[in-house]
Chains A and B, each alone.
Chain A
Amino acid sequence: MSADNSKNEVLISVRDLAKHYKGDIHALDGISTDIRKGEVVVVIGPSGSGKSTFLRSLNLLEHPTSGTITFEGIDITSPDNDINKYRQKMGMVFQHFNLFPHLTILENMTLAPKKLLKMSKSDAEEKALELLKKVALEDRAQAYPSQLSGGQKQRIAIVRALCMSPDVLLFDEPTSALDPEMVGEVLDVMKDLAKSGMTMVVVTHEMGFAREVGSRVIFMDAGQIIEEGTPEEIFDHPKNERLQTFLAKVL
């Protein structure tokens, strides 16, 4: 795998990332990894392993205690760099969707492009409608989030992030809050995105998705990366004992 990936430039470089809470709790304990352009990195691990904290650190929703995150050559952990500028290029999809309930679907999608990218209303709406068509929700443009099902909300959340034309999309357990019958429609959108070459970092419990779509799988436990590799390496030939135990429980 490394032969193929080394051709692609590094998008996010994480070095010695640590997050300590009071009472000597190490949510992250020295994480180092590179995320390359076009990769779909799937992060798995037992609950409390720090995988969500790791993901949320990538756009500094969690402030790491130490270590650096370099995004497109810029150290975004440095207070000298305006994180708001870089977050525009790092889309994020949350477990609980977090659509804005006081705005219509179209307004949800066009708010950030209009205010932050200074797009005109018509340009922003045109782009939003195009994306809505891709997730087959163009007829819901004028609806409010409360009128949608969970699966629809999450598809909207994905295209809302896409409206900013991000260079990477971060998924924080995007299907965990969904009814089982709605998981598929969201995973399908994510698969299409992966195929289109979008760089993605996905924290998930969907092992099928990890195996099928992931270009690399990271297994975390106790705030550390225990093992990483291709889906075949991780799922078919796990070396570490903790990974073997974990897989025995979830597969």
Chain B
Amino acid sequence: MLNHLAAYRTALSVSSWFSEMKDRLYTNFIAEDRYMYLLKGLWMTLRITFLAVLLGIALGVVAAIVRSTHDKTIADMRPGFGKILLKILDALVKLYLTVIRGTPVVVQLMITYYIIFASSTNQMLVAVLAFGINSGAYVAEIIRSGIMSIDNGQFEAGRSLGFNYIQTMIYIIIPQAIKNVLPALANEFIVLIKETSVSGYVGIQDLTRGGDVIRSRTFDAFPPLLAVAGIYLIIVIFFSKMVSILERRLRNSER
């Protein structure tokens, strides 16, 4: 008899927990179409990340070529305009790497938003620039390590066929370098996806901010924040999967 009563109470509390949870989910996501905060935020996060990755790769490759060209060739270069130009470019790139890697990304974002582009109304563009420039500094060092890992014989073979320095880089060195550093690059982009979560600091409605807005409306932190965390996790898992497929395909071409 007593046993039955306990079982009954447990069943009652389980079912009431479920019905309470259902209410919370409804309030947080369904009521007033609140799920749209997450969807719109996700779309913003994806756009910022994608464009920032492109900008980061472009900046990173250029910076890496400048740095490695300087380190490899400056000792043998004839004095002249080219040598001076290379030295200036290298100094600029070093300054860029030092400043960007030496300050927090959220501070860079706020400087870009409130100072450099104070008059701009395109929030997304500001975020893309800030995160792209930030990512470029890390990508530069990753690709530079890839370039330096390629045997100098590859370089000499390219030059001996008549390719100039830049052509040798583009056709022969960079493709091999990127393949070698793909895992490190993928890691950098995974970090970047999550770093965009500070966009809310300058009022951009990204995924994290979307969850936070819901929390501020419903005074219920658990469901929206857990949903936000879950969505980031799914994006990163999906991206990692894509990269490992790409890696395998590139490796297959060598066997």
The chain A residues found within 8 Å of chain B, CB to CB, are: 59, 61, 63, 79, 84-85, 87-88, 90-92, 94, 96, 98-102, 111-112, 115-116, 144, 146-147, 160-161, 164
Find chain B residues with CB under 8 A from A90 CB.
160
Find chain A residues with CB under 8 A from B254 CB.
101-102, 144, 146
Partner of A98, one of B153, B163, B164: B153
Find chain A residues with CB under 8 A from B119 CB.
none
Cα of A91 to Cα of B154 in the assembled complex, Å: 15
Contact status A87-B161, CB under 8 Å: yes
Find chain A residues with CB under 8 A from B158 CB.
100
Main secondary structure of the interface of B (DSSP, over half): helix
A to B CB contacts below 8 Å, 27 in the list: A84-B163, A84-B164, A85-B162, A87-B159, A87-B160, A87-B161, A88-B161, A91-B160, A92-B160, A94-B153, A94-B156, A96-B153, A98-B153, A98-B157, A100-B158, A100-B176, A102-B176, A111-B161, A112-B161, A112-B162, A112-B163, A116-B161, A146-B254, A147-B255, A160-B161, A161-B160, A161-B161
Q: Is B78 an interface residue (CB 8 A)?
A: yes
Kindly count the residue-residue contacts between A and B in the assembled complex, taking CB atoms under 8 Å apart: 70
Contact status B78-A94, CB under 8 Å: no
Contact status A116-B179, CB under 8 Å: no
Closest to B177 in A: A102
Q: Is B230 an interface residue (CB 8 A)?
A: no
Q: Which of B100-108, B167-175, B203-211 contacts A (4 or more CB under 8 A)?
A: B167-175
With contacts A98-B157, A146-B255, A164-B161 known, what are 4 further pairs, Cβ within 8 A? A85-B162, A87-B159, A88-B162, A96-B151
- Chain B stretch 74-124: residues in CB contact (< 8 A) with chain A: 76, 78, 80
Most buried by B among A59, A85, A98, A116: A98
Cα of A147 to Cα of B252 in the assembled complex, Å: 12
Contact status B76-A63, CB under 8 Å: yes
Q: Is B3 an interface residue (CB 8 A)?
A: no
Contact A87:B176 (CB < 8 A) given known A94-B156, A144-B254:
no
Nearest Cβ in chain A — how far from B70, in angstroms?
17
Cα of A84 to Cα of B162 in the assembled complex, Å: 5
Closest to B175 in A: A102
* Interface pairs A-B: 5 shortest CB-CB: A88-B162, A98-B157, A92-B160, A112-B161, A98-B153
Cα of A221 to Cα of B163 in the assembled complex, Å: 32
Cα of A79 to Cα of B83 in the assembled complex, Å: 13
Nearest Cβ in chain B — how far from A106, in angstroms?
13
Cα of A196 to Cα of B162 in the assembled complex, Å: 24
Cα of A61 to Cα of B157 in the assembled complex, Å: 10
Find chain A residues with CB under 8 A from B156 CB.
61, 92, 94, 98
Closest to B153 in A: A98
Find chain B residues with CB under 8 A from A91 CB.
160-161
Contact status A100-B159, CB under 8 Å: no
Closest to B168 in A: A84
Cα of A84 to Cα of B166 in the assembled complex, Å: 12
Closest to A93 in B: B160
Cα of A98 to Cα of B155 in the assembled complex, Å: 9
Cα of A97 to Cα of B161 in the assembled complex, Å: 13
Contact status B179-A59, CB under 8 Å: no
Partner of A101, one of B80, B161, B167, B176: B176
Q: Is B216 an interface residue (CB 8 A)?
A: no
- Chain B stretch 147-205: residues in CB contact (< 8 A) with chain A: 151, 153-154, 156-164, 167, 171-172, 175-176, 179
Closest to A157 in B: B157
Cα of A184 to Cα of B172 in the assembled complex, Å: 30
Contact status A61-B176, CB under 8 Å: no
